[in-house]
Structure 1
């Protein structure tokens, strides 16, 4: 669980670095265009300076994301007990969410069959039942059959004898062990029930968290990301032609940046929630 979580955090940090680099490259192109406009007198010096100052935010985002990526790699290497220098490793993997192909009922069934703590509880109950059967068997009284034969000189000659011995059950045997093992069965049954309830609660809670995250992610995937990109491009185009204010231009850049970061953080939350579902079920069911 911890290793998978650390791996996902590296993927998130890499994705944020990628977006930060993309944003600063896009903004640098806009600065270059507006530098030419400033030289032509199309915008004032103050407006151009404000454009350049806004680049500080994008540069800060990039440096912060690089630090976070390095920290995430260090954490992963520590879990792997790996001594490779952090600058010499790279992590590859898809950082996109996909809709789960399973449902809650299926996850509950898998958990009941796969969770190690449930299997341990079931094995403990089986052992208690076996111990009780052994105690009952040790307390039972069984008849004893015997046969004897001999050949001697006359007058006895040859004879064969049979015997049957049946103990009289005046006092029950092994009473204490029978009672102890029966109580042990009752106790382990209750422990198994409690473990099962806890396991199903874990599955239900982790599934609810996953579904909540998906509800937030879906509109980003289908609408918000596209709208933020369209608004940024439209306002940038309008500003370069004097049809939008500097404030509108800066707001559009900020909204696009915030939308992208929110989306990536939600994908990271989805990965974390999926990891928790897998942990609560007892095996990987959501990639």
Structure 2
């Protein structure tokens, strides 16, 4: 049993190093050995710098800003096509130099096309359709953002609640059982098998607590992303 625990610890250490190397690869680091210590801990990553129920319209999310920009562009295109319904007048100026015994002449011509059959209706219809599509996309994105925020809040509430139960209830009880069995073993009231079983169970609870903390940290990151929260000033 002791050898198994040692093997599990060695496997966990190898997995941790592999995870650090994977992070280095994502950051473009060459020849990474994974020998670095994270600046953040699960304790800091689990918490939120704002209440989990904080209201946020998500108005600064890049995807929504892009949709709103597309909507404004479609509206500008409609105004442009509306202005093109009446063609611009054409003004021409002509100057002719005559012989010395004749006066010079200056001519001015103004051409104003009358859009009797072509009033740019096709382009106007296309521009109106583009505005409708852009507005639908923006509204759809707003609804998706609201759904993302709601789902992220539910996930964070579940993960943080599970972590709290592990920390405040399950983990202390497991540790107390291990200590009780260890004390009984020292006094001859428990067998070695009982002690190893209690230690194995306590280690499993420790791992489950760490996994719950990792889930809570991931949920916190997802909630920050849904709310478009940035810790940068």
TM class by shorter chain equals: 0.7 to 0.9
TM-score, L = length of structure 2: 0.79
DSSP 3-state at the match of 1:224: helix
- 1:122 Cα deviation from its structure 2 partner: 0.4
- 1:186 Cα deviation from its structure 2 partner: 0.8
DSSP 3-state at the match of 1:62: helix
Query: Does residue 1:201 correspond to 2:147, yes or no?
Result: yes
Query: Does residue 1:98 correspond to 2:47, yes or no?
Result: yes
DSSP 3-state at the match of 1:114: coil
Question: Per-residue displacement from partner, 1:61-89 (whole Å, max 9, x unpaired)?
Answer: 21111110111011011001112531543
For 1:121, which of 51, 67, 85 is the aligned residue?
A: 67
- Retained in 1: the 8 A contact 2:170–2:205? yes
Cα 1:188–1:87 shift into 2, 3 Å? closer
TM-score, L = length of structure 1: 0.65
For 1:66, which of 3, 7, 13 is the aligned residue?
A: 13
Query: Does residue 1:182 correspond to 2:131, yes or no?
Result: no
Specify which structure has the higher proportion of helix: 1
What is the number of equivalent residue pairs in this alignment?
Answer: 209
Distance in 1 (CA, whole Å) between partners of 2:30 and 2:88 is: 68
Distance in 1 (CA, whole Å) between partners of 2:127 and 2:33 is: 56
- 1:171 Cα deviation from its structure 2 partner: 4.8
Counterparts in 2 of 1:97-246, with a 5 A limit? 97-98=46-47, 101-104=50-53, 106-107=55-56, 109=57, 111=58, 113-140=59-86, 170-171=116-117, 173-246=119-192
Provide the residue aligned with 1:22 in structure 2. none
- Retained in 2: the 8 A contact 1:104–1:204? no
Distance in 1 (CA, whole Å) between partners of 2:71 and 2:24 is: 40
Provide the residue aligned with 2:97 in structure 1. none
Distance in 2 (CA, whole Å) between partners of 1:139 and 1:196 is: 34
- Retained in 2: the 8 A contact 1:125–1:185? yes
Question: Per-residue displacement from partner, 1:172-221 (whole Å, max 9, x unpaired)?
Answer: 62222211111111111111122222222222222221111112111122
Aligned Cα root-mean-square deviation (Å): 2.6
Q: Structure 2 unaligned runs (5+)? A: 91-110
- Retained in 2: the 8 A contact 1:206–1:276? yes
